[in-house]
Structure 1
Amino acid sequence: MDLLESTAMAVKTLKANKLRSALTMLGIIIGNASVITMVGVGQGAQRYASEQFESLGPNVLFVIPGSDSSRQRTLETPRTLTLEDAEAIASQVPTVIGVAPQLQTQQTVTQGNRSTSALIVGTTPEFSTVRSFPVARGRFLTDMDVQRGNRSVALGADLARSLFGDADPLGQTIRIKNLTFQVVGVMEAKGAFLGNNQDDVAYIPITTMSSQITGNSSPYGTEVTFISIMSRDEQSIGAAQFQVTNLLRLRHRIVSEDDFTVRSQKDALEIVGNVTGALTIMLAAIAGISLLVGGIGIMNIMLVSVRERTQEIGLRKAIGASQQDILVQFMIEATILAVLGGVAGTLIGIGGVSLAGALTPLKAGVSPTAILLAVGVSGGIGLFFGVVPARQAAKLDPIVALRSA
């Protein structure tokens, strides 16, 4: 009996038991769909994070307080960076062309009878350039605002809309922590960054923030939450990172562990990529368990099928079918179930990835590698778990089979 005839007989047998065949494929369908969806969403999360960090600019550095180990040992954020550190970096590091210290806190912002909770960022005029935050209307903070500790504020696009609606906020006043601030500008919309709305922010002079909003809680000077730095170009970012690290070590008189960390955009992206990559692998592995369960289901159903078709097997062997013919037919049946389940699961998985891409900000996409891997694995599972029932059917003695029927 040739392969084509065996395949035709296998298809005919499966058609005769449509419901059982469909239920047998269900585990493979769920497994394939889960693997493709999880891998697609995971890769989408990686692309989304990559785009978010690339929007910061390729030559941006961030100095954050505390070392990696010190932040793991305590829940409280270290208070080791100061405004004076930022000023020293700006004046003494030759590969740096812009420094923007930030001191931030969450506060209630009020305008008339409207109020909302927003992130308040105390910073300097360089922030707009270093972090690529252009102004849509009015102006950003000035050196005079910082020197005098003026109560000037530039609003993010969403915050301006929440407080003023369609009215022009320029020249109007808002209240932050019961202090009156004059609106001098409205920023262009930037969207979310890793889940945080960058447009729901108010920017005020860092000196005003330190003296009138948060208070100066650092024993070393005017505390800052972190410092953003722009290097001269992408090629000099390594040199800038080295020079900033050495300068801060000298300023902080460090002899052992650093009390700060200097991160580049590439470093941050690598960390996020490692995390999302690990999560993608974990989710795909969990989803892949469904493929194993589906394979076991195929083996169970094929074993039942062998018992139900004892007479058929005995009759075929009695009229000349060899053990290999019986083995091949049952293997083909198992493989067909696995491959059809893989194809159906792939289509459902593609739909799931497309839905995730449409309903979430993740750049979810279908991975050809994941599709080939899932379908290949499902076909292999069909072959692997079809071996035992196929061998059992092939070894049936025709005389015993016909008598037991």
Structure 2
Amino acid sequence: MGRKVPLNEIFLMSLKTLKANKLRSSLTMLGIIIGNASVITLLGVGKGAQKLASNQLSNLGANVLFVVPGNNNTRRRGVAFPRNLTLRDAIAIEQQVPTIEKVAPQISSSEVIQYESKSFSSTVLGVTPDFLQVRSFDIAKGRFISEKDNNGAKNVAIIGHELNQDLFNNINSLGKNLRIKDQSFQVIGVMEPKGAVFGSNQDKNIYIPLTTMVNRITGKDPTYGVSLSFISIQAKDARAINAAKFQITNLLRQRHNIIKDDDFAVRSQKDALSIVSAITGGLTLMLAAIGGISLFVGGIGIMNIMLVSVSERTEEIGLRKAIGAREADIMLQFLTEALVLAVIGGILGAFIGLGSVNGIALLTSLPANIELKVIMFTVSLSGSIGLIFGVLPAKRASKLDPIVALRSL
């Protein structure tokens, strides 16, 4: 019975063997490197998408509810939203729902904005003075719409930070006149930068009084009167959101004489975040699965190369067995070689993946990031794959008959 070979001796022999076949070892590790880098990069992108969505939702305002015309079936069918959400609904909510703080009705329309020889397509929002508080916007220069502006349907406008740069090249725009739909509007304020929400850049919007929007831009609906795009509502606090949602739903159902399906929807930030988290979470899992396939293919590459190595090293195996090496020692050496290849490949892949994630974060607006525990998990997974796919070659090597192996010398 042969002596038991120490683990450190097996490890050193494995390193020596791998070092003697540098090209083969490098090519074997390549699959693991690519697979590990893919997993880390794709997980980083997926997590970054979740973080970006959360950041954008936080820009909507604190403790905010949104009432929009149409229901989920309307949206799934892709038909035009009904125009039955009105200014009277917004006033009723403000007067009759006790759990809310402020109500900000809104009308949106895509229009061409002109200043001298420049023209840009922009979203024009007809809003009330409460919009600033409800949606947590800030003014950088000048002032926002006042009650006097709204009651008198004044032709005044507040422009977004980027639109101000596009139209006026950072020159003081206060007091300047621009045109919207052949109507002249005086700029009275510029918004602080706010960022984008779901692809819509809020810094390129323009804000005018709601009454001016109705009288000069959109007009009234012949059936419903002043139809709104949606209503933003600020609850008294976070604990009041569910109660406010329930009360608003009941009030609008009564006002719209609804018996069956609602013709409106009440949404909170939490609802939107749940939907977005489900979508981005599914996307992240799909991306991780794609990277996992690459890692699996890398494991198959290790098994194939190790099988070739067993065939080429028949004489070495036979000689070692002849001088007392046990089957367990032979098997352990080949498993160690597979493990070393997988772990080194996993570590190199982790560095490449981490570099890719940081590169994406620097070159794009996506806040891609990856946690240390994810990197440790993927490297551990690489090692596990090396062990799993190294079992068959190691077993085959350990079962070689030394007499048969020595005949080939």
Q: TM-score, normalised by structure 2?
A: 0.95
d(CA) in 1 for partners of 2:260, 2:333: 71
1:244 aligns with 2:245: no
Q: Could you tell me which amino acid in structure 2 is paired with residue 288 of structure 1?
A: G
In structure 2, the partner of 1:367 is: 371
Give the secondary-structure state (helix, strand or coil) at the position aligned to 2:203: coil
1:316-335 matched pairs, under 5 angstroms:
316-335=320-339
TM-superposed deviation, 1:149: 2.5
AA aligned to 1:157 is: H
CA contact (8 A) 1:111 1:174 kept: yes
Alignment of 1:339-354 (within 5 A): 339-354=343-358
Mapped to 2, the partners of 1:179 and 1:237 lie a distance apart of 40
Matched ranges for 1:141-160 at <5 A = 141-160=145-164
Superposed, 1:237-316 pairs within 5 Å as: 237-316=241-320
Q: Could you report, residue by residue, the CA deviation over 1:57-91 in whole angstroms, capped at 9, with x for unpaired residues?
A: 33111111111222112342333311211111111
Distance in 2 (CA, whole Å) between partners of 1:271 and 1:127 is 25
Secondary structure of the residue that 1:181 maps to in structure 2? Answer: strand
**What secondary structure does 1:199 align onto?**
helix
Mean CA deviation greater in 310-319 or 365-374: 365-374
Of 166, 172, 177, which aligns to 1:173?
177
Q: 1:222 aligns with which of 221, 226, 231?
A: 226
Deviates more, 1:113-122 or 1:212-221: 212-221
What is the alpha-carbon distance in structure 1 between the residues aligned to residue 373 and residue 71 of structure 2? 39
1:111 corresponding residue in structure 2: 115
Q: Deviations over 1:319-357 (max 9, x none)?
A: 111111111111100010000011111111111122222
Measured on the aligned residues, the alpha-carbon RMSD in Å equals 1.5
SS in 2 for 1:5: helix
User: Is the Cα–Cα contact under 8 Å of residues 299 and 386 in structure 2 kept in the other structure?
Assistant: yes
CA contact (8 A) 2:74 2:81 kept: no
Q: Partners of 1:401 and 1:217 in 2: how far apart?
A: 92
In 2, Cα distance between equivalents of 1:23 and 1:288: 19
Deviation string, structure 1 residues 13-57 (Cα, Å, up to 9, x no partner): 000011110110111111111111221222222222222222333
1:136 is aligned to: 140
Partner-residue secondary structure (3-state), 1:56? coil
Match of 2:359 in 1: 355
Q: CA deviation at 1:304?
A: 0.6
Q: How many residues align?
A: 405
- Matched with 2:7 is 3
Query: What residue number does 1:78 align with?
Result: 82
For residues 19-98 of structure 1, the aligned pairs below 5 Å read 19-98=23-102
Tell me if structure 2 keeps the 8 A contact 1:45–1:362.
Answer: yes
Secondary structure of the structure 2 residue equivalent to 1:69: helix
Give the unaligned 5+ runs of structure 1: none
C-alpha deviations, 1:83-116, integer Å up to 9, x for none? Answer: 2111111111111121111111221111001111
Secondary structure at the aligned position of 2:129 is classed as coil
1:399 deviates by 1.4
Contact 2:62 2:234 in 1 (8 A): no
Q: Which amino acid aligns with 2:253?
A: R
Does structure 2 retain, via aligned residues, the 8 Å contact 1:10–1:332?
Answer: yes
Whether the 8 Å contact between 1:79 and 1:218 is mirrored in structure 2 is: no
1:218 positional shift: 6.5
Please state how far the C-alpha of 1:217 moved relative to its aligned partner.
4.0
Alpha-carbon offset, residue 282 of structure 1: 0.8
Question: 1:160-212, CA deviations, whole angstroms, 9 ceiling, x for partnerless residues?
Answer: 12111232212211011222111121112222233322111110122222333
User: Residues 217 and 300 of structure 1: is their aligned pair in 2 closer, same or farther, counting only changes over 3 Å?
Assistant: farther
Q: Paired residue for 1:377?
A: 381
Paired AA for residue 351 in structure 1: G
DSSP-derived class of the 2:40 partner: helix
* Alignment check: 8 A CA contact 1:83 1:223 kept: yes
Distance 2:294 2:276 in 1: 28
AA aligned opposite 1:329: Q
Pick from 383, 387, 403: which aligns with 2:391?
387
**Contact 2:109/2:124 (<8 A) preserved:** yes
Q: 1:151 Cα deviation (Å)?
A: 1.8
Alignment of 1:190 with 2:194, yes or no, is yes
Q: TM-score, normalised by structure 1?
A: 0.96
CA distance 1:121–1:167, shift in 2 (3 Å): same
The percent of aligned pairs where both chains have the same amino acid is: 56
For 1:249 and 1:54, how far apart are their aligned partners in 2?
Answer: 29
8 Å Cα contact 1:36-1:367 kept in structure 2: no
Q: How far apart, CA to CA, are the structure 2 residues paired with 1:244 and 1:119? A: 27
Q: Distance in 1 between matches of 2:360 and 2:175?
A: 43
